[in-house]
Amino acid sequence: MRLTWLGHASFMLESEGYQLVLDPFADVPGLKNVHIEADQVLCSHNHYDHHYLKGVTVRSGGQCPFAVDTVATFHDEKMGALRGENTVHILCAEGLRVVHLGDLGHRLTEAQAAPLHHCDVLLLPVGGTYTIDSVLAAETVQQLQPRVVIPMHYRSEQFGFAKLGGVEPFIKMLQTWPVRRYEESTLTLTTEMTPQIALLKPLLNV
């Protein structure tokens, strides 16, 4: 399976020639709007930086190799009263389980966390303000015990909303985790991956 970070909270997963896009975005500083072809698109919620559906041309046909499951969560710590609901997506193919937390805004309950435990790859927001912050993101990693963590929805010097925090405070919270800083946007996922925090380059950098 191939995973590509488009930027912000958007990823493309590819398996058996089938391409699935998660949370396509528009108007994120420092990033080009998503403009891509794919076989399927899934969104965690309907905010413009996660639900830019016109940026994805969906092809017809093609047999989806992904088993998709969801967990209902919230975009904030007040059960959605501030920013609404959020859907966590669980995608399984090739013996791998990838979890995309979307704009998770609160600590997961044990019931919400149960189907996410020990996933192969966790796509995790770490920037705070609109989602969990670095402290709660680190707690979520300890709670779920994934094999590979890929931070998303944060700000760097090149991209991201001004109100978001950076990725480095999150990394400092998990000092026992090895960090791999990739110079590319795409990672090949296998059942032999070693535990790591994987930092990718956004494909849609301006």
- What does the pLDDT average to over 12-37? 97
Contacts for 138 with CB less than 8 Å, ≥ 6 apart = 170, 173, 174
**Confidence at residue 133, expressed as pLDDT on a 0 to 100 scale:** 97
More confident residue, 200 or 206: 200
pLDDT band at 89 (very low <50, low <70, confident <90, very high): very high
Structure confidence by residue, pLDDT tens digits, 101-132: 999 999 999 999 999 999 999 999 999 999 99
Helix, strand, coil percentages for the chain (3-state, nearest 5): 15, 35, 55
Which strands form 96-100's sheet, in the order they lie side by side? 67-74, 85-93, 96-100, 121-125, 148-152, 196-199, 179-181
Ordered strands of the 40-42 beta sheet? 40-42, 18-22, 10-15, 2-7, 186-188
What is the chain's mean pLDDT, rounded? Answer: 96
User: By mean pLDDT, which of 26-40, 70-84, 174-188 is the weakest?
Assistant: 70-84
Question: What is the distance between the alpha carbons of residues 123 and 40, in angstroms, rounded to a whole number?
Answer: 18
Per-residue pLDDT, 60? 84
Short-list 22, 21, 55, CA closest to 38: 21
Position 206 pLDDT exceeds 80: no
Mean pLDDT within 147-174: 97
DSSP annotation string for 133-163: -HHHHHHHHHHH--SEEEEES---SSSS-TT
Judge residue 72's burial from the number of C-beta atoms within 10 Å of its C-beta, 0-12 exposed, 13-18 middle, 19 or more buried. Answer: exposed
The residue among 2, 22, 1 whose CA lies nearest residue 125 is 22
- Bigger pLDDT: 83 or 194? 194
CA 119 to chain CA mean position, Å: 13
Answer whether 0.85 is exceeded by the pTM: yes
Q: Is residue 160 predicted with pLDDT exceeding 80?
A: yes
**pLDDT tens, residue by residue, 49-67:** 999 999 999 998 789 999 9
Query: Based on the number of CB atoms within 10 Å of its own CB, is 176 exposed (0-12), middle (13-18) or buried (19 or more)?
Result: exposed
Tokens 């609109």, located at residue: 130
- Greatest pairwise CA separation for the chain in angstroms: 45
What is the band of 27 on the pLDDT scale with cuts at 50, 70, 90?
A: very high
